[in-house]
């Protein structure tokens, strides 16, 4: 059974567990690295700050009581736009609807806050994530995303109109 949980700063240990697992399992999928969030970067106040972004909606999915997925919705500078960030699903839960559940929950949050567009960035070689996003109606915007660590490539920026959600 899937359970969606909204998390806040006091849930930082749960968020930390999932985020470190995500960065360890899928380093190719994120702009952040495991090394940045370990050692001196692994501090309670930093995790609490991540879960205290003004207006953000941070989510965890439990499958049969075990945390298996995470995502956040964050407001954009433009009021009509929101962004999906930090999305990850554990390999043990892939193919079980967790990614769909997270995307739909962030879409509902974005619509409820008045957004008409939901954006995200995905690594250009992350074909499985791209296919998931395309299945949910996201398309490539053609905009240059953030520069990758190689200094040459860029993240792929995708967006979806929320008018039909």
Kindly report the number of other CB atoms within 10 A of residue 58's CB atom. Answer: 23
The residue range of the domain holding 119 is 2-161
Mean pLDDT (the chain, rounded): 92
pTM of this structure: 0.92
β-strand pairing of 117-122 with 154-161: antiparallel
CB atoms near residue 64 (< 10 Å): 9
Q: pLDDT of 18-30, one tens digit each?
A: 999 999 999 888 8
Check which CATH number belongs to the domain holding 123 and give it: 3.40.630.30
Number of domains in the chain: 1
């Amino acid at each position: 059974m899937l359970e969606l949980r909204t998390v806040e700063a006091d849930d930082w240990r749960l968020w930390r567990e999932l985020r470190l697992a995500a960065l360890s399992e899928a380093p190719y999928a994120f702009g952040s690295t495991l090394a940045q969030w370990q050692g001196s970067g692994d501090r309670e106040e930093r995790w609490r700050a991540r879960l205290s972004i003004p207006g953000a909606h941070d989510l965890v999915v439990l499958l049969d009581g075990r945390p298996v997925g995470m995502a956040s919705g964050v407001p954009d500078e433009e009021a009509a736009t929101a962004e999906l960030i930090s999305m990850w699903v554990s390999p043990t839960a892939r193919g079980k609807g967790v990614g769909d559940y997270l995307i739909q929950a962030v879409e509902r949050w974005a619509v409820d806050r008045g957004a008409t567009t939901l954006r995200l960035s995905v690594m250009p070689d992350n074909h499985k994530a791209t296919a998931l996003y395309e299945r949910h109606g996201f398309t490539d915007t053609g905009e240059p995303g953030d520069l990758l660590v190689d200094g040459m490539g860029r993240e792929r920026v995708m967006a979806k109109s929320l008018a039909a959600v």
